[in-house]
Amino acid sequence: MKKTVYIETTIPSYYYETRKSVRALAWREATRKWWKNYRKFYNPIISEFVLFELERGHYPAKKEKFNLVKNLESLSHLAVIDDIVDEYIKNQLVPREFGGDAFHLAYASYYGVDFLLTWNCNNLANPNKFHHMNVINNRLKINTPIICTPIQLLTGEEV
């Protein structure tokens, strides 16, 4: 059985990244490599919140980013997701102003997803926060996914 991978909003964003910084180019390349060569080994899923984030605002390649993920399986919003987000914010796991990050973690955790794929290394793919995430999720009796970047899901030869 394939492992599940929650595709957080930064993944389609970096797939169509246009900035020319070294980091942006490297992250775009790694995202595209993972999407093209490794996505097939996983069951990629999103949430309604990913679609919400991609639909709002005006930014380059908005339609392309949305179209990249729109046909993936989507996790439904349930009231319990809001309760989990409130716990994350109350316990200072994620600052209130970055509540979207809490939603991504709540969806992936509540639904028992194996991996949460992201380029958000401040609030999500941050090893310094993992223990805190795990403590809170254990209290809530929900899974803590492995939170990683596309680079971490490439083989050694690809990096």
Q: Give pTM, 2 decimals.
A: 0.94
Contact indicator for 25, 149 with CB cutoff of 8 Å: no
How many H helices and E strands in the chain? 7, 5
pLDDT of residue 99: 81
The CATH number of the domain where 71 resides is what? 3.40.50.1010
| Residue 159 within any structural domain of the chain | no
Number of domains in the chain: 1
Position with higher pLDDT, 157 vs 33: 33
Q: What is the mean pLDDT of the chain?
A: 94
pLDDT of residue 57: 81
- Which range marks the domain in which residue 38 is found? 3-153
| Residue 158 within any structural domain of the chain | no
Segment holding 7, helix H or strand E? strand 3-7
pLDDT digits (tens, 9 = 90+) for 112-135: 999 999 999 999 999 999 999 999
pLDDT digits (tens, 9 = 90+) for 77-96: 999 999 999 999 999 999 88
Contact indicator for 94, 103 with CB cutoff of 8 Å: no
Encode burial over 82-115: b for 16+ CB neighbours within 10 A, e otherwise: eebbebbbeeebbeeeeebbbbbbbbbbbbebeb
